[in-house]
Amino acid sequence: MNAPRLDGQVPAHEAVYRALRAQILEGGLAPGASLTLRGVAEGLGVSMTPAREAVRRLVAERALAMTDTGRVQVPLPDAGALDELFRARSLLEPELAVRALPGVDKPLISALRVIDDRLEERLEAGDAAGYVRANNAFHSLLYARANAPALMALVESVWLQTSPVMRRVYGRIGTGSLIDYHEAALEALAARDADRLAAAIRSDVEQGAALVREGAA
Amino acid sequence: MNAPRLDGQVPAHEAVYRALRAQILEGGLAPGASLTLRGVAEGLGVSMTPAREAVRRLVAERALAMTDTGRVQVPLPDAGALDELFRARSLLEPELAVRALPGVDKPLISALRVIDDRLEERLEAGDAAGYVRANNAFHSLLYARANAPALMALVESVWLQTSPVMRRVYGRIGTGSLIDYHEAALEALAARDADRLAAAIRSDVEQGAALVREGAA
DNA sequence: CGGCGCATTTTGTGATCACAAATTCCCGGC
DNA sequence: GCCGGGAATTTGTGATCACAAAATGCGCCG
């Protein structure tokens, strides 16, 4: 009835955290949906204690919200909150991209291209969840090269907050005519041009912001 | 044996969180110091459960760090991490200041002046903890006018990470010749000049960064 | 037929306990 | 004198339980 630090095993609270986090990022949880600690615990076969810890961790990261009576739900950011979040992304992500630039090599660019192809494929297939997932993977993989864990943590908190609505927006909008700023970013990476890279990432983020703005419910 | 939601009372885990957070922000906990759940719990007269939740919440905010064996300690950011954190501040804080600008009125400017006076007084008195506290109060009060909780949460996470070292640095350095960018910010506020305000805040943050860089142990 | 009040159920909170891994401490051997 | 190893202690983890507040549902009265 215990699992402290078995070999490569992760603690139960960590497993619960990862499961919930993935569901939020990949759109498994709709904005506004509510969770119960007992529900989470039973759903993952653990007791309430680790479930509580995982939920609280996500609340601290603002990926989940708590009412003043302790009820937990997936937050539904209003227009103002979304504006803040996309502004944060457009300020922080170019910095991460530029910091990644020195560590970028050809294999990475190839890997990014593969992801970008999958992304466009999902887009045309109208697979909103797959699109969001691929988009996350693209930015994630690039920024990982920046070796900037503190900045990365900030950006990931923002992603957790925007992902649920993104999925909803992409699901609703036909994802019609999107300018491919990822392609521009890849070119800037190949050319090792920091300014163009920063501009491409900023444009990419701001395009997402515009999309969310017009797709507001 | 219980205290769920008594009148204006806060839950135990919230009380523990606030107590620890204040200690971190105001320098009561030295970088590298280690905590035990039982120690925290007994120190505040609660059981381990709420102590664990509070600690985990602070870990999620990166105000505390956990080793891979679950030991908790106040993080000691290295030069690279500090660079990231101050960069984040210099990107995010001007945005918050500018967003606050429309809501700024004369009473607020007066209140900020009072804080700034106390700040300089602490500086001359060599009271590092008081200085850090006043500095936090100044930025906090201004940004509160921005009504931007999502951005604010990001910045507060960064403050939690830098505060312990700031205190150390100001304690060591004589806090000799510091340019008063707060005064410049106050003038920009009075003139409702967004550009000058942003520049002043950015300079203020970057001065702090430079100070920390040269004061690195 | 629509709100209102009370009983029932659901749900978060906090304490306590057992357990195992990690850490600490101390002693004996080299 | 210093290092290594094993016992004792410390410490995090997770399960379970009691409790109270909040949410829910239902029936009664208007």
Q: Is it the case that residue B102 has pLDDT exceeding 50?
A: yes
Same domain flag for A31 and A104: no
**Same domain membership, residue B104 and residue B195:** yes
With respect to residue B121, please indicate whether it lies within any of the assigned structural domains. Answer: yes
Does any CB of chain A come closer than 8 Å to the CB of residue B8? no
- The CA–C1' separation of B37 and D5, in angstroms, is 29
**Beta strand ranges found along B62-121 (DSSP E):** 65-66, 72-73
| Average pLDDT of every residue of chain B | 89
Return the pLDDT at A32: 87
Mean local confidence (pLDDT), B59-84:
94
Q: Domain boundary at B24, B44, B73, which?
A: B73
In a domain, B5, yes or no: no
The answer to whether residues B96 and B112 belong to one domain is: yes
Distance of CA B86 to the CA centre of its chain: 12
pLDDT recorded at residue B7:
44
Task: Give per-residue pLDDT as tens, A47-94.
Answer: 999 999 999 999 999 999 999 999 999 998 999 999 999 999 999 999
Question: Is there a single domain that holds both residue B114 and residue B198?
Answer: yes
Q: What's the CA gap between A39 and A36, in Å, rounded? A: 5
d(CA A156, CA B50): 26
- Give the B window 40-99 contacts with A, CB below 8 Å: 49, 52-53, 56-57, 59-62, 69-70, 77, 80-81, 84-85, 87-88, 91-92, 95
Does B66 lie in the same domain as B171? no
Q: What is the 3-state secondary structure (H, E, C) of B133-171?
A: HHHHHHHHHHHHCCCCHHHHHHHHHHHHHHHHHHHHHHH
pLDDT at B131: 84
At A216 the pLDDT is 63
Task: Give, in Å, how far the C1' of D28 lies from the CA of A69.
Answer: 30
Specify whether B85 is located in the same domain as B180: yes
B191 and B156 within one domain: yes
Indicate if A125 and A188 belong to the same structural domain.
yes
Q: How far apart are CA A89 and CA A83, in angstroms?
A: 10
Picking from A73, A92, A121, the residue at the C-terminal end of a domain is: A73
Q: Which range marks the domain in which residue A113 is found? A: 79-214
If asked whether residues B118 and B66 sit together in one domain, one would say: no
pLDDT by residue for chain A (217 residues), tens only, comes to: 444 443 457 899 999 999 999 999 887 788 888 999 999 999 999 999 999 999 999 999 999 999 999 999 999 899 999 999 999 999 999 999 999 999 999 999 999 999 999 988 888 887 878 888 889 999 999 999 999 999 999 999 999 999 888 877 776 665 566 788 999 999 999 999 999 999 999 999 999 898 888 876 5
Domains in chain B, number: 2
Å from B118 to nearest chain A CA? 31
% pLDDT > 90, chain B: 70
In a domain, A6, yes or no: no
Cβ-based contacts of B85 with chain A (< 8 Å)? 150
* Residues A199 and A100 reside in one and the same domain: yes
B7 in any annotated domain: no
